[in-house]
Amino acid sequence: MVSKFVEGACITMLVIPAIIVLMLRISRHYDRVAREVGGRTMLVLENLRPPLVVVPIEEWNKTSEKALQFALSISPDVMHCTLISIKMKIRGTCPR
């Protein structure tokens, strides 16, 4: 019986408590995160500004057109950028 304990049971005696400690620390971390992100504060709706919308477009197609239409629908302040990449040289224009 003693030889079996020395051969492998001692590993079980060390691994199970280590797993329990690890799981308790993970649970404590989840509780701490829940306290930080949870809260019953009022939503402040004053001084709201429209978002800055960035739409990266590699090529012009129907998907990029829909993405740009969506961006224009959520922000009235529109600015356009054109980037052209030719053999690792980038030339760009961003007029306001």
Q: What is the pLDDT of residues 47-81, one digit of tens each?
A: 888 888 888 777 778 988 898 888 889 887 766 66
- Model confidence at 32, in pLDDT bands (50, 70, 90)? very high
What tokens does 89 get? Answer: 């040289």
Over the Cα atoms of the chain, what is R_g?
29
Structure tokens at 26: 């993970």
Q: Residue 18 corresponds to which amino acid?
A: A
Considering the entire predicted model, what is its pTM? 0.42
Q: Specify the higher pLDDT residue, 50 or 5.
A: 50
